[in-house]
Amino acid sequence: MKTAFFALLVREMKKWYRTPVFFIVSMAQPIIWVVLFGSAFDITRLFGNLPPQAIAAIMNTEFMGAKNYISFLSGGIMTVTILFASMVSGMSLIWDRRFGYLAKLMVSPIRRETVFMTKVFSSIIKGIVQASIIFVVVIIMPSGLILGSGFGIVDLLTIYFVLFLCALIFSSLFVMIAVRTTKWETAMGIANFLNLPLMFASTALFPSSAMPGWLKFIAVRNPISYAANTLRILTIKGSLSGALINTVMLNIAYLSAYAVIALVAGFIISYFTLTDTSYS
């Protein structure tokens, strides 16, 4: 049912841009993140007295050769933006249930998975738009992201593919939570319970070398880390060598695996949960 899928996707988009406060907040929030995180946590200031060569050496080993902290942070913030955007829009399914719209969908002949897919894809679009805004802001802001020399269209496309996979994973996850919970409060609780650990037990904000062993163990397996690291390589390093290309490919493979698992789980859960609206 392509007609229904696209019509519902358009519905989500209209609801998004027609709620100005919500739209502006969702646009402004990531920018505030960059500015706050970028200046509050400018780790390189800690190296104040070190000679420039020493700083460069640390940046090289610990911060993937970023020229400044924002350059390191950008990939992380873009990823985390995707995480939060996925949460907000994925869980809008709960409002659809609460305000009765889900009942309309359920009694119509559309496939139960279509409901899931429209939520996932609208939340991917929203997440990618927000991440793009971040991307533009960090590039144009003073002492912002310094792109590696040789950054090209292939890198850009790869960035977007990574953002897409990342959004697919988290949107599926949050839509799944929304499908299973009837109460907004419960879903919010679960989401917050997941979000902060997901964000901090990752290399989104800090390199893993600063982490204790157990945290590092989790962090390197966290899809956020795969996404953030890949974005970093793509933005900071410029034209990629063979070894880096392999790393990027491997990370994308991991992300794809996560995405497939999340998608299949979401399909199954929606299929079985949305067949019976025992909501009252």
Which residue lies nearer to other proteins by CB, 19 or 39?
A: 19
To ligand ADP, the closest distance from the beta carbon of 270 in angstroms equals: 19
Q: Which listed option, other proteins, ligand ADP, none, makes contact with residue 106 (CB within 5 to 8 Å by class)?
A: other proteins
Work out the angle between the directed axes of helices 112-140 and 20-40 (0-180°, nearest 10).
Answer: 50
| 241 vs 278 by CB, closer to ligand ADP | 278
User: How many residues does this entry show for the chain?
Assistant: 280
Smallest distance, Å, CB 103 to other proteins?
5
Based on CB atoms, which residue is closest to other proteins, 100 or 242?
100
Closest approach of other proteins to the CB of residue 186, in Å:
17
- Identify which of residues 8 and 66 has a Cβ nearer to other proteins in the complex: 8
| Distance separating the N- and C-terminal Cα atoms of the chain | 28
Minimum CB separation of residue 279 from ligand ADP in Å reads 6
**Closest by Cα among 175, 5, 219, 179 to 86:** 175
Residue 188 CB, shortest distance to ligand ADP, in Å, is 22
Helices 242-273 and 223-236 meet at what angle, rounded to 10? 140
Residues in the site for other proteins, rule: CB under 8 A?
A: 1, 3-4, 7-8, 11, 14-15, 18-19, 99-101, 103-110, 275-278
Residue 182 or 256 having the CB closest to other proteins: 182
Closest CB to ligand ADP among residues 96, 155? 96
Nearer to ligand ADP, 143 or 186 (CB): 186
Nearest partner of 134 among 27, 17, 229, judged by Cα: 27
Planar angle of CA 151, 248, 144, nearest 5 degrees: 40
Contact 116, 175 (CB under 8 A): yes
- Quick one: 73 exposed, middle or buried, by C-beta within 10 A (0-12, 13-18, 19+)? buried
Note whether 255 and 79 are within 8 A (CB).
Answer: no
In the complex, the smallest distance separating the C-beta of residue 6 from other proteins, rounded to whole angstroms, is 8
Q: How far lies 145's CA from each of 69, 136, 189, 236, 277, in Å?
A: 8, 9, 34, 8, 48
In 3D, which of 254, 234, 47, 17 has the Cα closest to residue 130?
17
Kindly list the residues in this chain that would bind ligand ADP in the complex (CB under 6 A): 278, 280
- Binding partner of residue 82 among other proteins, ligand ADP, none, CB under 5 to 8 Å per kind? none
Q: How far is the CB of 280 from ligand ADP (least distance, A)?
A: 4
User: Binds 108, which of other proteins, ligand ADP, none (CB < 5 to 8 A, cut-off by type)?
Assistant: other proteins
Upper half-sphere CA count for residue 208 (Cβ side, 13 Å): 18
